[in-house]
Amino acid sequence: MKTIIFSISIILSFMSNAQYSFYSSSFSLIDAESKEVISSEIKYQSHNVSFPDSLLIHNIFDESGKIIDSQIYHITEANSEGELIMFSALSGVSGNTYYYVLKSEEDNYVLLQYFQEDNSFYLFDAEATDLKTFKQ
């Protein structure tokens, strides 16, 4: 029982302090089963993820670095399982829920956006950097 309580407290502590910023210049669509690259696209964008604030902020930039689109999502659920953090983000614009995975690799995190209906995901070519949250 003590082990379960300790594990839950570690996960909650981790999630409450977890905040990441990703900047990518391209991403690939990958089939989740075969791990085959279906397509790749050049797109300059950032994803800022703050679990304490329950926010995902997504910005898209043009080639000169000017923001051409920006949206804030509400993180509605987050779970940690080993080296994975899975979370869902609700769009206030479309009302759709999007699913993301942060995967721990060596000393960094990789950002994936998962599509259940196609069993595929976007793999962003970004590395995580620190993000200072609103709630500190």
Using a CB cutoff of 8 Å and minimum separation of 24, what contacts does 130-135 make? 130/19, 130/20, 130/21, 131/19, 131/20, 131/21, 131/48, 131/49, 131/50, 132/19, 133/19, 133/50, 133/52, 133/53, 134/50, 134/52, 134/53, 134/55, 135/52, 135/53
Domains of the chain, by residue range, sit at 2-129
Q: In this predicted structure, what is the pLDDT of residue 125?
A: 92
Domain formed by 2-129, architecture: Beta Barrel (2.40)
pLDDT in tens, 85-130: 999 999 999 999 999 999 988 778 899 999 999 999 999 998 778 7
Record the pTM: 0.81
pLDDT score, position 136 = 59
